[in-house]
Amino acid sequence: MSLIEAHGHIMANGVSYAQAAALHRDAPDEAAVRAALAQVRDCGVTFFRDGGDKFGVSQLAKTLAPEYGIIYRTPVFILHREGFYGSMYGFGYRDMTGARALIAEARRGGADFIKIAVSGMLDFDGDGGVTGPALPQGEIAELVKLANGEGFAVMAHCNGAENVKNALLAGVSSIEHGFYTDADGVALMKETGAVWVPTCVTVANNLDGSRFPAATMRGILEKHAETLKYAAKRGVLIGNGSDSGAYNVPHGRGAADEAAFLASLGVDTGAGDAKIAEVF
Ligand SMILES: [Zn+2]
């Protein structure tokens, strides 16, 4: 399989979320979407799995992608529990009735799968830990059951060793980012057949200290790389996703950068990429 982008946010621009949000807030900006799709195509990416946004940008991208020879998949937006991480790229639910309504809304919007926020993101400016609260295993399982019941696989934004294990035990089909995954998490990935999309270049492209503390970033990346090598040896499915649109991760080039980084670790993404294309 040729180069895939297993995790990107076409709505974001690799520079400033606020700037991108302002551009798309009233309506998705078609010129910006076309420029991003052209970049993706020019980098040789033929399959793009969007991570969602709340302005309908990925929905527009999906309708335009065939013109660029790109197979495009999207969850439309991320589901998150109100007050938890995820509001930048999606909508919150208060209870399972609300979650069910959001899944129905994603379906009406043409979703190919459901994306949920299990945990926060990494606090690059602080100690590199995971921000905010995370969903308990039972709640993740309820979300997975609702989504699977509608025929959707679940893509889980997730960081932190315990959170990764909870998500896997709850039955998600992919772990996105997965920073701080431990050996038990790796064993569960192997057992469940979930795909790990490690988005290494969100860190690897930001090691120079100009935006985030260099020592923090280096420490996070070293640990991530070690765990990835370990996971690859144990036959875990690993997918090539860069989180393009994130800071210093341009669309198209992000996928190429991620592929180069994983190759430098000796991690092969062929089977993981194929599983992503099949399941999502
Ligand atoms: Zn994402």
pLDDT digits (tens, 9 = 90+) for 16-30: 999 999 999 999 999
How many angstroms separate the alpha carbon of residue 176 from the centre of ligand 1? 7
Domain boundaries of the chain, sorted by first residue: 4-279
Q: Is the pLDDT of residue 231 over 80?
A: yes
Rounded CA-CA distance 271/276 in Å is 9
Q: Which pLDDT value is given to residue 87?
A: 95
Torsion sign over Cα 204, 208, 210, 214 = positive
How many angstroms separate the alpha carbon of residue 191 from the centre of ligand 1? 24
How many angstroms separate the alpha carbon of residue 242 from the centre of ligand 1? 9
How many angstroms separate the alpha carbon of residue 1 from the centre of ligand 1? 22
Torsion sign over Cα 164, 170, 174, 176 = negative
The total of other beta-carbon atoms located within 10 Å of residue 24's CB is 22
Q: Which pLDDT value is given to residue 67?
A: 98
In order of 101, 102, 184, 186, 218, the CA distances from 224 in angstroms are: 36, 33, 15, 12, 10
How many angstroms separate the alpha carbon of residue 219 from the centre of ligand 1? 22
Q: Which pLDDT value is given to residue 203?
A: 97
How many angstroms separate the alpha carbon of residue 187 from the centre of ligand 1? 24
pLDDT digits (tens, 9 = 90+) for 164-184: 999 999 999 999 999 999 999
Rounded CA-CA distance 186/230 in Å is 8
CATH no. of 4-279: 3.20.20.140
How many angstroms separate the alpha carbon of residue 233 from the centre of ligand 1? 26
How many angstroms separate the alpha carbon of residue 52 from the centre of ligand 1? 7
Q: Which pLDDT value is given to residue 125?
A: 83
Overall average pLDDT of the 93-108 stretch = 98
What length does the chain have? Answer: 280
Please give the backbone phi and psi of residue 157, each rounded to the nearest 5 degrees, phi first.
Answer: -70, 120
pLDDT digits (tens, 9 = 90+) for 58-99: 999 999 999 999 999 999 999 999 999 999 999 999 999 999
How many angstroms separate the alpha carbon of residue 9 from the centre of ligand 1? 6
Rounded CA-CA distance 221/225 in Å is 6
Residues 186, 175: contact at Cβ < 8 Å?
no
Q: Is the pLDDT of residue 2 over 90?
A: no
Q: Which range (43-52, 127-136, 228-237, 239-248) has the least confidence?
A: 127-136
How many angstroms separate the alpha carbon of residue 169 from the centre of ligand 1? 21
Reported confidence tier of residue 124, pLDDT bands at 50, 70, 90: confident
How many angstroms separate the alpha carbon of residue 39 from the centre of ligand 1? 19
pLDDT digits (tens, 9 = 90+) for 232-270: 999 999 999 999 999 999 999 999 999 999 999 999 999
How many angstroms separate the alpha carbon of residue 272 from the centre of ligand 1? 17
How many angstroms separate the alpha carbon of residue 249 from the centre of ligand 1? 12
Percent of the chain predicted with pLDDT > 70: 100
Strand partners, 90: 78
How many angstroms separate the alpha carbon of residue 246 from the centre of ligand 1? 9
In order of 10, 12, 76, 105, 195, the CA distances from 21 in angstroms are: 11, 8, 15, 21, 29
Rounded CA-CA distance 164/154 in Å is 14
Rounded CA-CA distance 252/161 in Å is 29
How many angstroms separate the alpha carbon of residue 2 from the centre of ligand 1? 22
Q: Which pLDDT value is given to residue 248?
A: 97
How many angstroms separate the alpha carbon of residue 8 from the centre of ligand 1? 6
Q: Which pLDDT value is given to residue 1?
A: 54
Please give the backbone phi and psi of residue 54, each rounded to the nearest 5 degrees, phi first.
Answer: -105, 15
How many angstroms separate the alpha carbon of residue 42 from the centre of ligand 1? 22
- The β-bridge relationship of strands 154-158 and 71-73 is unpaired
How many angstroms separate the alpha carbon of residue 210 from the centre of ligand 1? 23
